[in-house]
Structure 1
Amino acid sequence: MTSLHNSISSLQQDAAFDLAFRLRQPVPVKPKACVLLLHGVGGSEMNLADLAASMDPDTLVVLPRGPLEFASGQFGWFRVTFSASGPRIVAAEAEQSRQALIRFVGQLQTAYGIAPQNTLIAGFSQGGILSASVALSAPERVAGFAVLSGRILPELEPHLAKKAQLAHLRSFIAHGEYDSKLPVMWAQRSDQWLSNLGVAHAIHLYPIAHEISATMQADFLAWVSAQTPIETSIRLRYRALRSGVPQGTPITVLHIGANQTTIAAGTGEEPAATLQLAIGAEKTAADFFKHHPPTPAELENAIMAVEDEVTRARTLIANDSILVTTDAAIREIALIAGVPDQAELSLSLDVMERTFERLAQVTLGRPASSEGMPASAAFAATLLILREFMHHLQFSSITVKA
């Protein structure tokens, strides 16, 4: 068995779910998002295994199997025949699959604790058709959808949600200009229909037939990455901080938020990698600091948990990368550490370690005011996260920009 197939689970057939499915492995413990990939007619869920394997490791990637079996190993969502006048579908089967998928998406969200705003549905050919059908009829279930060499069924019109309910959706339409199975006019019709519905979308046409090319796959993966709000935010920070840094120089952008810490790393105009860590300032304080100030034991427990999470970033960061942030909370740490206040300042690891030692003294009973430290638990958590990040990822300093 190939390494690609090793990255996909065995078929899951569970009475709690309307459809059989496979998962991209390893399955994230706390998925930040969910992407469903639907195969085309006459194929199987394994057809999109390479696409699944290419996605962000923090994303739950689900490969459902179509409910209809046409032959051994050949599945679909509805029967269809092709004639000179165009495709003719068994509308009742398409409707049954649409309803089953809507239920299935909800079942996944409940089982894995994923919100609709972090859920995308996409598919190839007939799978793309069903992706559009689900999103446009049940927009409360997903944040967006992608149609790869597919179309939007005219038969869907009676089931469309109201225009106002569709306003949050984002869509990706990709099609081959030489597609003889579903001619490119179907993509053009989808483009017009989505415009009329007020659905934000991008349309990409390629000099290919009825297939997924490497360029189409790359464009789709980039679109998926850009849909997560936190992902979009860290990418914008990266682009802004990249300005003025020579091409080829590696930088790592750090943002310690309330509920998660996000990083973006790369050497070009766009980050080569992004990652979300479950160690935000307020979350860490709430999880570990039951006393104010925290006790030495609480501080040590927090250090161990943060260290475990920070080490996930090791493989993403170049050894000579520059660490940069715009976080006001990190600027506050630098100023408390005695760094002169200016638009761009640098906080060294040594100075930051001495500041963390002042926090440790507070946990041992010294008044926070005597150490010049804020009494805020979130401040303590931010300092702890920064210290573990710089120490374990071997950054000698962090540049703080206004």
Structure 2
Amino acid sequence: MADPRHTDSGLAALVGVATAAAGTGSALRPEDVSCERLRGFFTGHLLAEDSPPALADGFVRRQGELDALVTYESELLALNAGGRLREPLQIVHPEDGMVLADYPLLLLDPAKRASYDRLVAWLKSGPVQKKIMERTLRRPVDPAVPRIESLRPPIGNALYFPDRQEVLDRLLADYGKAEGAPPARVFFVLDFSTSMAGERIAALRATFAGLSGADDSRSGKFLRFHRGESFTVIRFAGRVLDERTITYRTQADLDLLRQAVAADDFGEDTAVWSALDHAYGRAAELVRDSPRQGASVVLMTDGENNAGTGLDAFLDRYRALPEAARAVHTYTVRYGDADPRELDRAARATGGRMADATAQSLLNAFKETRGCTE
């Protein structure tokens, strides 16, 4: 798609994707904008230009490596008709709807009202609308004008454009952060104490399967793992049991990620805060070596801390970290008999939040953690 900071078509595309991700069916509000929900879209965005024609030219040059093009319908139809493509594009009208572009004619001098009205009437007349449609491949404003074959498919719902500037500011800020930045790293700190054996570990494994693509719900499509993301899975009990880092490039990488939680070696005790401290040690190394790479920590436990360091000691160590490492937020997932007060306190102290899996499914709780990494 074209660069949304410089083009209306790019901004319309960004608003459309964000509206579909929010799933509200109404105009976007600031709280509806989640860069994590858009991260998969940003990850797959390989071509940006400062105008629709330049975007079309860029696609023609790279058509062997690009899979899709998001732009005005008229631009797509013109490409298909222009003879520059090896094979025609299949035009897709999003089921969720899309932002419609119009071209208003404004009257600047009230003294010219009569001339203005005559011009508008001429432009909206049937013969002129037909010529505009045939020459520019844009849909006529008058629904009574018969469509040419390529414009007969219905366009579906028209999406609301945001009516608040702060929404657009946040969308464009998220786009700017994602442009050229390395994909994010998520540190999963997972409780593998003996109390997790049985139904609880089965639910955890089903959660990772859902985030790997098995969840076909609307939110699942936007919040699943994205190509390019890196994951460090830290399993713990009374100590750290295992640590694996995987970058998702192919299906085989997702299989490795699921294998990381398929292990059956559980341990006695639950050293929650020692495991989280270990994760922050790894996060500190990451932000030191790759300052632009976003990162977050997801801590899931089903019990209270009964080994290793305490929460107060962890927070003291956290406050002593370099500023960049302290910008890594922790999202805690309360499961089973875990202490909600401690988990909420740890999340808030690190800039994250707690998701409660005792009041919803573990999968939905993990979806809540798919928040924006700074």
Query: Does TM, scored on the shorter chain, surpass 0.5?
Result: no
- Normalized per residue, which structure has more strand? 1
| TM-score in terms of structure 2 length | 0.30
| TM-score in terms of structure 1 length | 0.28
